[in-house]
Amino acid sequence: RFTSSPGENAFQVKITAPEEQFTRVGVQVLDRKDGSFLVRYRMYASYKSLRIEVKTGDKHVAKSPYILKGPIYHENCDCPQEESSAWLEEMNCPQTIPQIQRDLANFPIVDPDKIAKEIPQRFGQRQSLCHYTIKDNEVYIKTHGEHVGFRIFMDAILLSLTRKVKMPDVEFFVNLGDWPLEKRKPPQNLHPIFSWCGSSESKDIVMPTYDLTDSVLETMGRVSLDMMSVQANTGPSWEDKNTTAFWRGRDSRKERLELVKLSRKYPEIIDAAFTNFFFFKHDENLYGPIVKHISFFDFFKYKYQINIDGTVAAYRLPYLLAGNSVVLKQDSIYYEHFYNELQPWKHYIPFKSDLSDLLEKLQWAKDHDEEVKYALRSTQ
């Protein structure tokens, strides 16, 4: 068994369709640098079966070649499976997801006609919403509000699902903005709204962010940053990483200004800078200058990654956790769909929302280097 990388070209993977003259399949072999590899492929046509060869040099590895019996459909094939329960089982979907169950528990009964009137009246002028209806596996959309461009991400995931499985008839509203909307509390009349971000002060139903779903749908396509590509681009080994804590981003929260100020005071401990000013342009002279964007993969040249809220939760967190740097996460009222599964001091090091103990937590991490390094394995 390997415990370190044998080299990124140690294995060759070839995928062919035995019954076809040509096979249009893209393959990527991703070296995680710890002795393990990820292999992924993207098909551009559907096939009856696939033959997967894994070789090192001229020799097959383990039980290679493997035969994957089909039919095997490509992403854009409109080939929905009739039984959704069978599809969920084949996809290894969990029976329940605690976060969603808790969110939905606030809405034991929903009157579609009632919310179709009330939600647009309440939110439609100031917010951006989509009213989705899935009927006979077709997706219908009605938008409310002025800035509805982000519907393309929700459209994409719903259309992808309806190509794969027959969806039940359902109606729901999706919030296209950053902030969760439903601030009422029982026994007030709550409105069920799906959002990409939740908070301890809201009752929205939280789903995976548009950033995550887009990176999945566009894997090996127009998106280069995804949960797998990160694992093959984690920079130097732990021992060779820069021991300065690192952060880059825009000025979308006051605490980010404080972080840059802290970096100015302790440059040997924190390297934090803005790549863009939008919210506090009048303070650019105080907190600038703007620095150039760098590749997200280059973040992992640094041992310590600081995750701090933007307008809401910072959607970079899942990608930071997939790397092999330790994440220091700001305490926050905001959360993404998976935060309830994270454990502080196991998956990340917490620090106070006002940053008052950030330097202390960084010093703790440096004083417990081996412990932190070991914890990284459970994070990934």
- C-alpha distances (whole Å) from 210 to each of 122, 138, 203, 213, 348 are 24, 21, 19, 5, 23
Tell me how far the alpha carbon of residue 232 is from its chain's centroid: 16
Neighbour order of strands in the sheet with 349-351 = 270-276, 242-250, 302-307, 326-330, 349-351
Check residue 2 and give its pLDDT: 80
Check residue 251 and give its pLDDT: 94
Is 103 strand, coil or helix?
helix
Check residue 327 and give its pLDDT: 97
- Which residue ranges of the chain lie beneath pLDDT 70? 378, 380
**Do β-strands 198-199 and 334-335 pair in parallel, antiparallel, or remain unpaired?**
antiparallel
Count CB atoms within 10 A of the CB of residue 312: 23
- The answer to whether the CB of 54 falls within 8 A of the CB of 62 is yes
The model's pTM is: 0.94
- The answer to whether the CB of 131 falls within 8 A of the CB of 116 is yes
Q: Give the containing element (helix H, strand E) for 13.
A: strand 12-16
CB under 8 Å to 191, separation ≥6 — which residues?
A: 115, 118, 119, 122, 123, 173, 181, 182, 184
**Domains, the chain, ordered by start:** 12-77 (2.60.40.10), 99-207 (no CATH), 227-379 (3.40.50.2000)
Q: How long, in residues, is the chain? A: 380
Catalogue the active-site residues. 178
Check residue 343 and give its pLDDT: 94
Q: What's the token pair of residue 188?
A: 């007030």
- The answer to whether the CB of 327 falls within 8 A of the CB of 380 is no
Complete DSSP assignment for 219-263 = BTTTB--SHHHHHT---S-GGGSEEEEEEEEES-SHHHHHHHHHH
d(CA 23, CA 51): 10
Identity at 155, one-letter amino acid code: D
Check residue 286 and give its pLDDT: 83
Complete DSSP assignment for 287-331 = H--------GGGGGGEEEEEE--SSSS-TTHHHHHHSSSEEEEE-
Check residue 139 and give its pLDDT: 99
Is 29 strand, coil or helix?
strand
From 62, 12, 68, 4, select the one nearest 33 (Cα to Cα).
4
